[in-house]
Amino acid sequence: MWIGGCSLCCFLKSTIISFVLLTLSIMQTVSADPWEITRSSIKLGRRLGEGFFGVVYQGLYNNTPVAVKTLRHGTMDPRDFLKEAQIMKTMEHPNLIQLLAVCTEEPIYIITELMKNGSLLDYLKVRVGRLHLNDQIEMAAQVASGMAYLEMKKYIHRDLAARNVLVGENNVYKVADFGLARVLQAPPNQTNLYYIPVGKAIFPLRWTAPEAIANEKFTIKCDVWSFGILLYEIMTFGEMPYPDMNNSQVKQRVPNGYRMPRPVDPYCSQDMYKIMLDCWNGNKNDRPTFEALKMSLRNVRG
Ligand code: ACK
């Protein structure tokens, strides 16, 4: 009788233990992030280039060629990045670079689709005078399409510029690095051609709307301002915005109403310049939506 009691007790004990183990393993499976991958599952290949925050490599993931963005230590808090990556993963559009996987242990790896022709900025620079207005409108319209999707999803890019648009095969243009700017931290005492520290954050000064510099608050309307600067880059084949001004002149004059003049060489049509000026409206609420920009770009004449 006693022996029977013991075996019942042992049976119950082992059943409970198995149940707990099973529950734990189910919980682990549910909570494991399917986007998080081990570093060993990525084979790094040739170096594609270097951004402010680290080197970008070509890589192989599941036998598929990918781009691997590696972030230098200290460029962001891995926990902030992980939170932001959860949102980035939900963004899917033919004109947005698709996030494929992440490695959130430092050095952080961001694995995305590979774009054969690199950044739009470099693409433009080597094609000075070799593109037609229709090609330029096509680039702008595809970027506006990707941005209209972010707008609809109530998401903000914060660093829209030709260097962050990538060019694929068959004239496909995709917006990269959306959301990243929010979690990036300024490396101490480091600035470069594009980014300057403002408080704890860093800003791409020449692409940033004056109200965002003033109050460090970003909205989709700041992205619209940056889109106007991107149009300027497209029309000038990658010229640096405000070419004759230094950073402090930009910081001081733009909030006081200064706007870049219409590019004349290379030529920029009045229609296109009008769209730029609309994006640079001092009152952010009077700037167009990306949805409206898509339409306006269809009607641009040379
Ligand atoms: O102009 P590039 O060759 O294109 O040099 C820059 C560099 O990395 C730093 O940003 C390249 N790059 C970034 N992301 C990708 C990508 N997904 N596919 C191909 N090249 C990329 C970019």
Query: pLDDT for 30-83, tens place per residue?
Result: 446 778 899 899 999 999 998 777 899 999 999 999 999 998 887 778 777 877
The pairing of strands 54-61 and 99-103 is: unpaired
Minimum CA distance residue for ligand 1 atom 7: 49
pLDDT, residue 64, reads: 94
* Cα 120 to averaged position of ligand 1 atoms, centre (Å): 9
Measured in angstroms, how far is the CA atom of residue 185 from the centroid of ligand 1? 21
> Which residues line the pocket of ligand 1, CB cutoff 6 A?
48-51, 56, 67, 97, 112, 114-115, 118-119, 122, 166, 176
Residue 25's pLDDT is 46
Distance CA 22, CA 201 (A): 45
Full-model pTM: 0.86
Residue predicted with more confidence, 14 or 131: 131
Confidence at residue 287, expressed as pLDDT on a 0 to 100 scale = 98
Which of 131-140, 146-155, 196-205, 209-218 is predicted with the least confidence, judged by mean pLDDT? 196-205
Residue 154 counted as an annotated binding residue: no
Which is more confidently placed, 3 or 119? 119
CA of 115 to the centre of ligand 1 (A): 7
Domain 39-113, architecture per CATH: 2-Layer Sandwich (3.30)
Dump pLDDT digits (tens) for 239-279.
Answer: 999 999 999 999 999 999 999 999 998 899 999 999 999 99
* Among the ranges given (9-18, 95-104, 107-116), the one the predictor scored with the smallest mean pLDDT: 9-18
206 is in an annotated binding site: no
Q: What are the catalytic residues?
A: 159
pLDDT value at position 3? 40
- Which residue has a Cα nearest atom 6 of ligand 1? 49
The pick from 44, 48, 169 for probing ligand 1's pocket by mutation, whose C-beta has the most ligand atoms within 8 angstroms, reads: 48
What architecture is domain 120-299?
A: Orthogonal Bundle (1.10)
Q: What does the domain layout of the chain look like in residue ranges?
A: 39-113, 120-299
Residue 17, token pair as written in the block: 């233990």
- Consult the annotation and say whether 69 binds a ligand: yes
pLDDT score of 222 more than 50: yes
Residue type, 93: H
Closest atom of ligand 1 to 164 CA is 10
Ligand 1 center to residue 193 CA distance, Å? Answer: 17
61: amino acid identity, one letter: Y
pLDDT value at 5 more than 60: no
Does residue 88 register a pLDDT over 60?
yes
Q: Dmax over Cα atoms in the chain, in whole Å?
A: 101
Highest mean pLDDT among 192-196, 198-202, 277-281: 277-281
CA gap 134, 137 in Å, rounded: 5
DSSP string, 114-157: --TT-BHHHHHHTTTTTS-HHHHHHHHHHHHHHHHHHHHTT---
pLDDT at 28 over 60: no
132-169 pLDDT, tens digit each: 999 999 999 999 999 999 999 999 999 999 999 999 99
